[in-house]
Structure 1
Amino acid sequence: MVRPNNQLPENLPQLQNLIKRDPESYSDEFHTQYAHFVSLLEIFALNPTEENKSLEEIVMFIAQVAQCYPHVCEQFPKKLTDLLRNSATVLDPAIRNCFVKALILLRNKNLVPALDILELFFQLLRCQDKNLRTFLQTHIVTDIKNMNAKHKDMKLNSSLQNFMYGMLKDANPKAAKMSADIMIELYKKNIWNDSKTVNVIASVGCFSSITKVLVTSLKFFLGHDDEDEAGSDSDSENEVDLKGALMANRVNKKTRKGQKQLQQIKKQAVKAQKKKKNAPAFNFSGIHLVHNPQGMAEGLFKQLQSTNERFEVKLMHLDVISRLIGIHDLFLFGYYPYITRFLQPHQRQVTRILQFAAQASHELVPGDIIEPILKTIANNFITERNSSDVMAIGLNATREICMRCPLAMGEDLLQDLAMYKTYKEKSVMMAARSLITLYREQLPALLHKKDRGRQTEAQAERKVRAYGERDVHDTVMGAEALLKDSKTIDLGSDDDDTDSNDGEWVNVTHSDDDGAGAAESGDEEDSEDEDDDDEEEDGDEDAASVSEAEEAEDDEKANEKKKEKADLKMLNQKEAAQELALTRIFTDADFKRINAANLKKTVTSARKRPLEQERSEFVKLNSIEMIYKKRKHDKESRLETVQAGRQDRERFGWKDGRVNENCSKTNREKSKTKNFGMMRHKARSKVKKSFRDKQLAMRKHLLQQKKMK
């Protein structure tokens, strides 16, 4: 039956609505429209550069209702993809965008395989259409994210990663750059956060001949610091916004809208403060997942030596290489002489170059390799011909390098730098003292005796390691703190030392060896008594006959005996602690006691803060640029100092020191309290006269003088 006045073939939105409601009733109309599409597509293929509005409308219509007639539309996606593959770069932009949106609709309805459509979209990144490339990038990231939402499709991900491996090598710079951006964004979203993605970027992106791809790949390995800085900037902006909103609310007219906006700003500030207090979530940076860090560092260094890129790109190379060397403990000895030539105070970004030198230092680098850097810094920075800020930065950089490679410092150079501890500028003085504090902990023997300070228990227990030596622990450090409560181990002490050993560690002996221990202690007591008897007899015979050499020898023997006892006591404690760690499961309370004991060892009366035991992977730029100066007070601190200065004062203001407060005052003192109208004539007389007024006054004076004669 033919419908009278049928306008559906021309009204596609209405037909689309009716088909979605009842596909079977409008099957003939759809077949008519599909046949019309095929004929229009054949005509358009003859001249694809021209715009065709009717083709755009019918393509979007079929894409909207394709799920209602899957058998009829089976070849529909293939027709669009073939046309895009063969002539994507010459297609009219409007038609090309229409085809892409239609394919995305079909992909969302699972009518097109994901791999085929994504590979096509990666190829479309070569088109000279910025809006299309941005649209495709957003869709690709969103589509891959949705596919890996419930569980990761490893087969699909591997296929796409292999395809993108080739896209990074594409000759088209825009396509290669967009591919690198997509991989990095998927890595940051924890979708492709595996080592394969990282190593594709490391092996292809970091050595690309296209500068934009190279810079993007290098920034990928340096991206975490930028994010932290951005986060700190946003926090400061939130604080400024809150202060400005409070001030505006105080001054402006009170309205409901203003109060509502103020409440919203307060809520945002509270959320930002909570985020700031929360512990940061750490994701492994890409530089930890590189399979061949040594090869990557050598390749980047070779590329750096032969590149003609701008200075900022060279700094990126230096930064990535230094991080690779510091994190993976690599050997790249040519890097240090190369970076030495940039260590000049007038060099642009010199503090960052000092940061790279510190990051590239670690314990396995021989001291002879890094020592020239320290000497260059000392000669170019730490000299009195430079400003105090330059000297302080040089000392800070020296400290950061020596923190990671303490054996690089020579004794003569260290003692020379330590002499700046009494320098007139506080910034230099504090930087030199921080270097001294570092070597008090690491290698106190290199310091002058007066600079070593009081030794802490932690420093006494620390063993000075030679080059390449590793400190391997066979027990839980500080487990000796739990020996007092251990029931499986007996603690014994000599009877004579009960008073002196109160609160201190004592010799540890097992229950089976009590007899032997008692016998040994008895022998020691007998020997000590015999020595005392001999000394008394010698004293009775002739006290003056004992020479100074014999006294010194006796003192030396006594000191050696005390040292042997202390070493034996320490050895017994370590053995007991090791046995305790092997036979007992420590609780949280036990670890709290251990941490408290370890912290106590690092604190003495001379040092009020604990020593830093571990070094961070990356060198913070603030640790090099940190200069101790007297900062300007803000308003609150200034008011505090003013209030503190007003204490114990009877009255504010100037005191004239008059004995009798009620006595008369001079006219000058009275003029300060008079009304300005009474003193206006005197204020006028003090106004500076013009040259013309001076001439007239002089003429008048001369005429008066002439009349008087």
Structure 2
Amino acid sequence: MGRGVLLTSNLPQLQNLIKRDPASYKEEFLQQWNHYNSIRQIFRFNPDEQAQHFRELVSFISQVAQCYPKETAEFPSHLSTLLLESYGSLSPDTRKTLVQNLVMLRNKNVITSIELLKSLFPLLSKTTSSSLRSYIRKTILSDIRTANLRSKNHKLNRAVQALLFGMVEQGLDGETIGNKAKQHTNVTPSADRTTNTGESAMWAVILTKELWRKGIWSDAKSVAIVALGCLHPVVKVQNASIHFFLGSDDEKEDSDDEKEELPDVGALRHRREINKKTRSGDKKLQKQLKSVSKKRISLKEPSQPNFPALQLLHDPQTFSEKLYDNMNICDKKLSLDHKILIMQLLSRVMGAHKSCVLGFYTYVMKYLAYHQLRVPAILAALAQSVHELTPPDVLVPVIRKLAHEFVHPGVGSEVIAAGINAIREVCRRQPWAMEDDLLGDLVEYRKSKDKPVTAAARGLLQLYREVNPSMLKRRERGKEASIGMAAGSQALPFGHSATPAMDVEGLTLLEDHLNALRDEGEESDEEAGWDNWNVDSDSESESESEGWMDVQSDGDLDISDSEDEKDPESKNKMDTTGGEDAVDVNRQSTLVTTKILTPADFALLNELRLQAATKAVEAGGGPKAKRKLAELEANAKHAQSGAAQDAVISEDLILGPRKKAKADYAERIASIEKGREGREKYGSLKGKKNKEAPSSSTNREKARNKPIMMIMRSGAVRGKKKASLREKQQKLRAHINRAKKSYH
């Protein structure tokens, strides 16, 4: 009797004994389990009654659940159901206890990760406690990261991605909630808060972005979740999703509990002046100032678009059309900043995937005015959306509107330069959008007295000298363009492409290198060339499809390696055709037909081409060899940076070089304070100032402060009065020479 009473009243002691010998204390555990069931029934109807005792029982059973798996099989579902169905009526301590015990059950492998995450995901949008929300978020991320630590857990990833898809799809059919003039919708009291405000979708996007940023997820399904968030009717969900593709994560949207503001530098220095002067305080202040300056520099750094995510978009044409439809339909509900975000994402997708949304150019024309707010960003988005497959007839009105609004004598030089730069970037991607007479007028601005306008007009002139010199006047074409036109070279019309390559450039260099290795006795490993280049697949069915497949055919198949067998005369067609289409087949390498080139082979080929170009320049190859070397170095740098094929157009590229604006008083003071950082306090080292040993003032300092009546009869003053003209001239000349020396 004494033992039973002691164990019933002391749950930690019973927990310790059960972990040591579960079989001996099974009856005591069943007694506590029955007591838990009775308390749970009471707790469901009255959560405030015996809440503390209920939390103790839940913690006790969670600790020993792995010892009695059959008896506690339904215990995790009890906790999950209580959290999901009665979350609003539970006290904060009870909520935290239930969540912590669910996580404990997962750590003890009583429940799986999928069961835990199904319970935690809905709580993110329901909880109002920042500490509990942060705990749930970290638990979700750490659990998924641990599951994918050694190898990709495709089963868990697919299940979690399905949950996130469901969270984003909850409010897709709702009405768009705009952010113009802080509009609010009337939400009925019985409506679901998470559905109307998009909290569930917001958390789904946040978690997907975090898993992508940490490198846990890098597949197309995670990109599809965020792409679906770009089409969500709630603006804050759109904003967070769009920032993922643009590469500029907005931390204010991601988490409210992780906001971090920069400290006030003036307040830190003022506090240091009034506090006690110590060396440790000075070091602490300097450390804080350095951290603030680093954070400011990081905030000013331009963001780079998320090119891998853009390349993994599924059906980019449909995605672009839906983005444009949402922006066009909700034009009056959305603010200008949000519409510019959509324009930037739409233009990146159109430029990266060569998709065409012709209505976008009609829509953007109403924003093409020099007095429009944030017009450089709009011009950059416009130029980014153009590519070689964009129809020129759609861009002709846009070019006319730009020239009419930005390039005329009634505006400033900065406006003219921005307009010409925007026209140049559009025409760089689609040269046939320009008209001959308009091009002649724009090129004349190269004679302007303003440097930004001159640079912009010269850039446009140089562009058309390269892409289509026939549109320029004869005196404006330049030497190289005129020689090329005389030789018969012409720009390709819209929709035409150059002759496809017949061979890989520089492949003979790779063949010679492999032959040299073979002569030295070194053999290249074919399989090693594919190391670290394979892409993990999310599909489990790919392993089943390995091997050969039997293909049945109803008739005979005519298989031949070349069409030359059908037409013997076609062998000599390439030799008989003249002009630029003629190819010397004897120079083609045999590696194309004898070896499968691996990614490592292509990387080696690029290095060999770069080495050959460097040797050609050193041997005096001339300007052509230097241009070839510069092109190869630029391509290598471009490949290492992982940038997209087309460079991102920034606002600075549209504005062009411009004069530095005159700083105001606050900027001048800030510049002065910045220059004084890390420098000793300004002052003379003479006399008592800044000396190791204190001393009195010098005789020269004392002479400056003497009364005038004491020095009127001095020899120095009387000598000045009696000095001759010659002496005065010599003294003035010496003063001028000393001033010149100090100035230089």
TM-score (norm 2): 0.62
Q: Contact 2:205–2:225 (CA<8 Å) still a contact in 1?
A: no
Pair 1:266–1:618, CA change in 2 (3 A)? closer
Find the counterpart in structure 1 of residue 726 from structure 2. 663
Find the counterpart in structure 2 of residue 357 from structure 1. 382
Partners of 1:435 and 1:387 in 2: CA distance: 19
The residue type paired with residue 119 of structure 1 is K
Residues 446-461 of structure 1 correspond to what in structure 2 (within 5 A)? 446-455=471-480
The residue type paired with residue 310 of structure 2 is I
Indicate whether 1:592 and 2:581 are aligned: no
Which whole-Å deviations, capped at 9, do the CAs of 1:401-431 have from their partners, x for residues lacking one? 1111112112221221111112111111111
Indicate whether 1:621 and 2:648 are aligned: no
How many percent of aligned residue pairs carry the same amino acid?
A: 33
Q: 85-94 or 333-342: which moved more? A: 85-94
Shift in Å, 1:226: 7.3
Shift in Å, 1:447: 2.3
Q: 589-598 or 443-452: which moved more? A: 589-598
SS at match of 1:473: coil
Indicate whether 1:300 and 2:323 are aligned: yes
Partners of 2:75 and 2:114 in 1: CA distance: 17
The residue type paired with residue 593 of structure 1 is A
Shift in Å, 1:433: 1.3
Q: 183-192 or 146-155: which moved more? A: 183-192
Find the counterpart in structure 2 of residue 469 from structure 1. 496
Count of residues in correspondence between the two structures: 547
Q: Contact 1:322–1:359 (CA<8 Å) still a contact in 2?
A: yes
SS at match of 1:168: helix
Which whole-Å deviations, capped at 9, do the CAs of 1:22-52 have from their partners, x for residues lacking one? 5556555544433332222121112236671
Q: Contact 2:399–2:434 (CA<8 Å) still a contact in 1?
A: yes
Which whole-Å deviations, capped at 9, do the CAs of 1:190-247 have from their partners, x for residues lacking one? 3332212322433x423222232232223332235879xxxxxxxxx99x99xx99xx
Shift in Å, 1:342: 0.5
Partners of 2:75 and 2:506 in 1: CA distance: 73
Shift in Å, 1:166: 2.0
Find the counterpart in structure 2 of residue 642 from structure 1. none
The residue type paired with residue 389 of structure 1 is E
Shift in Å, 1:381: 0.9
Shift in Å, 1:91: 2.7
Q: 2:414 aligns with which of 371, 382, 389?
A: 389
Q: Contact 1:456–1:603 (CA<8 Å) still a contact in 2?
A: no
Residues 33-72 of structure 1 correspond to what in structure 2 (within 5 A)? 33-48=32-47, 52-72=51-71
Pair 1:626–1:253, CA change in 2 (3 A)? farther
SS at match of 2:367: coil
Q: 373-382 or 211-220: which moved more? A: 211-220
Q: Contact 2:421–2:654 (CA<8 Å) still a contact in 1?
A: yes
Which whole-Å deviations, capped at 9, do the CAs of 1:654-683 have from their partners, x for residues lacking one? xxxxxxx9922289969x99xxxxxxxxxx
Q: Contact 1:475–1:577 (CA<8 Å) still a contact in 2?
A: no
Q: Contact 1:8–1:14 (CA<8 Å) still a contact in 2?
A: yes
Partners of 2:617 and 2:129 in 1: CA distance: 60
Residues 490-509 of structure 1 correspond to what in structure 2 (within 5 A)? none
Q: Contact 2:380–2:649 (CA<8 Å) still a contact in 1?
A: yes
Q: Contact 2:503–2:588 (CA<8 Å) still a contact in 1?
A: yes
Q: Contact 1:326–1:361 (CA<8 Å) still a contact in 2?
A: yes
Which whole-Å deviations, capped at 9, do the CAs of 1:40-89 have from their partners, x for residues lacking one? 21211122366711211221232223233334433321222232343233
Instruction: Please report the RMSD computed on the Cα atoms of aligned residues, expressed in angstroms.
Output: 5.1
Pair 1:88–1:595, CA change in 2 (3 A)? farther
Q: Contact 2:246–2:304 (CA<8 Å) still a contact in 1?
A: no
Q: 340-349 or 145-154: which moved more? A: 145-154
Pair 1:323–1:57, CA change in 2 (3 A)? same
Find the counterpart in structure 1 of residue 139 from structure 2. 139
Which whole-Å deviations, capped at 9, do the CAs of 1:151-185 have from their partners, x for residues lacking one? 22223322332232222122522222222222232
SS at match of 2:42: helix
Unaligned runs of 5+ in 2: 172-194, 252-260, 298-302, 516-576, 595-600, 639-644, 664-670, 676-723, 737-744
Find the counterpart in structure 2 of residue 317 from structure 1. 342
Q: 661-670 or 335-344: which moved more? A: 661-670
Q: 661-670 or 408-417: which moved more? A: 661-670
Q: Contact 2:201–2:237 (CA<8 Å) still a contact in 1?
A: yes
Find the counterpart in structure 2 of residue 335 from structure 1. 360
Partners of 1:329 and 1:2 in 2: CA distance: 82
Pair 1:160–1:316, CA change in 2 (3 A)? same
Residues 165-314 of structure 1 correspond to what in structure 2 (within 5 A)? 165-171=165-171, 172=195, 173-202=198-227, 204-223=228-247, 255=279, 284-307=307-330, 308-314=333-339
Greater Rg by CA:
1
Pair 1:51–1:149, CA change in 2 (3 A)? farther
Partners of 1:351 and 1:222 in 2: CA distance: 17
Shift in Å, 1:114: 2.3
Q: Contact 2:511–2:589 (CA<8 Å) still a contact in 1?
A: no
The residue type paired with residue 474 of structure 1 is M
Partners of 1:67 and 1:184 in 2: CA distance: 35
SS at match of 2:230: helix
Q: Contact 2:248–2:305 (CA<8 Å) still a contact in 1?
A: no
Which whole-Å deviations, capped at 9, do the CAs of 1:315-347 have from their partners, x for residues lacking one? 222222212221111122111111111000111
Which whole-Å deviations, capped at 9, do the CAs of 1:288-331 have from their partners, x for residues lacking one? 22222111212221221210222222222222221222111112
Q: Contact 2:396–2:434 (CA<8 Å) still a contact in 1?
A: yes
Q: Contact 2:316–2:349 (CA<8 Å) still a contact in 1?
A: yes
Pair 1:43–1:193, CA change in 2 (3 A)? same
Find the counterpart in structure 1 of residue 434 from structure 2. 409
Q: Contact 1:393–1:627 (CA<8 Å) still a contact in 2?
A: no
Find the counterpart in structure 2 of residue 537 from structure 1. none
Shift in Å, 1:587: 8.4
Find the counterpart in structure 2 of residue 161 from structure 1. 161
The residue type paired with residue 616 of structure 1 is D
Q: Contact 1:206–1:214 (CA<8 Å) still a contact in 2?
A: yes
Partners of 1:347 and 1:597 in 2: CA distance: 52
Partners of 2:728 and 2:308 in 1: CA distance: 79
Partners of 2:116 and 2:127 in 1: CA distance: 20
SS at match of 1:475: coil
SS at match of 1:663: helix
The residue type paired with residue 81 of structure 1 is S
Q: Contact 1:420–1:428 (CA<8 Å) still a contact in 2?
A: yes
Q: Contact 2:350–2:386 (CA<8 Å) still a contact in 1?
A: yes
Partners of 1:53 and 1:120 in 2: CA distance: 23
The residue type paired with residue 161 of structure 2 is Q
The residue type paired with residue 653 of structure 2 is S
Find the counterpart in structure 2 of residue 373 from structure 1. 398
